[in-house]
Amino acid sequence: MKIGENMNRNDKIIKVSIYGIAINVLLVIFKGIVGFLSNSISVILDAINNLTDVLSSVITIIGTKLASRKPDKRHPYGYGRVEYFSAIIVAIIVLFAGFASLKESLSKIINGGEASYSVISLSILCVAIFVKYFFGSYVKNEGKKLDSNSLIASGIDAISDSFISLSTFLGAVISFLWHISLEGYIGFIISIMILKTAINILKDTIDEMIGIRASKELTTKLRKRINKYENVLGVYDLTLHNYGPNNIIGTVHVEVPESMLAIDIHKLTRTITVDIYNELGIVLTVGIYSSNNSKYDDMKKDILNTIKSYKSILQLHAFYVEDNTVSFDLVFDFEETNMEEVKKEIETLLKEKYKGYNFIIIIDKDYSD
Q: What is the pLDDT of residues 44-99, one digit of tens each?
A: 777 877 887 787 778 778 877 887 788 888 888 888 888 778 778 777 877 877 78
* Dihedral sign, Cα of residue 225, residue 227, residue 228, residue 231: positive
Greatest CA separation found in the chain?
Answer: 92
Q: What is the CA radius of gyration of the chain?
A: 29
pLDDT band, residue 339 (cuts 50/70/90): very high
The predicted pLDDT at position 275 comes to: 95
Q: How many structural domains does the chain have?
A: 2
- Is the confidence at residue 201, as pLDDT, over 90? no
Same domain for 133 and 26, yes or no, is yes
Which one of 164, 183, 210 terminates a domain? 210
Which one of 191, 210, 229 terminates a domain? 210
Report the DSSP beta bridge partners of residue 250.
240, 284
Same domain for 220 and 261, yes or no, is yes
d(CA 327, CA 364): 13
- Adjacency order of strands within the sheet including 282-291: 234-242, 248-257, 282-291
Residue range(s) defining the domain that contains residue 331? 216-365
Report the DSSP beta bridge partners of residue 267.
none
The predicted pLDDT at position 113 comes to: 60
3-state secondary structure of 283: strand
Q: Which residues are CB-neighbours of 240 under 8 A, at least 6 positions away? A: 214, 218, 219, 248, 249, 250, 282, 368
Same domain for 11 and 149, yes or no, is yes
Same domain for 193 and 226, yes or no, is no
d(CA 190, CA 102): 8
- Is the confidence at residue 194, as pLDDT, over 60? yes
**Cα dist from 124 to 34, 35, 88, whole Å:** 8, 11, 32
Same domain for 183 and 310, yes or no, is no
The more confidently predicted of residues 111 and 341 is 341
d(CA 61, CA 230): 45
